[in-house]
Amino acid sequence: MKKENIERFFATLKAANPQPVTELEYTSVFELLTAVLLSAQATDVSVNKATRGLFAVANTPQAILDLGLTGLERYIKTIGLYHSKAKHLMQTCAMLVALHGGQVPRTREALEALPGVGRKTANVVLNSAFGEATMAVDTHIFRMGNRTGLAPGKTPLEVEQKLLKRIPPEYLVDAHHWLILHGRYVCTARSPHCWECAVSAYCDYSPKTAPPRA
């Protein structure tokens, strides 16, 4: 994707959605961290359904610990891989209480030291909670980076690094949300909806593959 098209690409996404936000439901940094940790290989819809009940009774690290592992699992058992996620969340809550006064740390190093928290999860928290210009490369963003020509790469880290270099600074904070939402609803995995895509004119992929308009 040419540099001038990158500017137009993000200007168009911004015009359509000036203040994008994650579709995960949360009211505190800890709730966000919990929701993102639970969202691996699960949909935001399924996570939101589970956390509505969980957060109503336990929305702090100590409250989660007080539930106990079995108690926590009862609330999140509808989410895939809930056994391992419950274990990681309990371990994370113990570390937050012991090392951070029950607060979510603001540095990448401290976040990635928490069980179950990898680079992608840390990037989401740093971006959505603390306003840092990070890029959490999930399957949607990885696909978008490669398919559009915006940031081709063989690994999520390579795509992340290219996106951070190529996206104009004024769009960086919100770019993560725009790309996820566009990949989730328009630039879908099996059959991208190029014919209804607002940024298809700037994309390296769509001119060759978009079906004719009705």
Write out the catalytic residue numbers. 120, 138
Question: Under a CB-based contact definition with an 8 Å cutoff, are residues 61 and 26 in contact?
Answer: no
Residue 164 CB-density burial (10 A; 0-12 exposed, 13-18 middle, 19+ buried)? middle
Quick one: CA dihedral 102, 174, 116, 86, positive or negative?
positive
DSSP state of 202: G
What does the alpha-carbon distance between residue 170 and residue 4 come to, in Å, rounded to a whole number? 14
For residues 119 and 186, what is the distance between their CA atoms, to the nearest angstrom?
A: 26
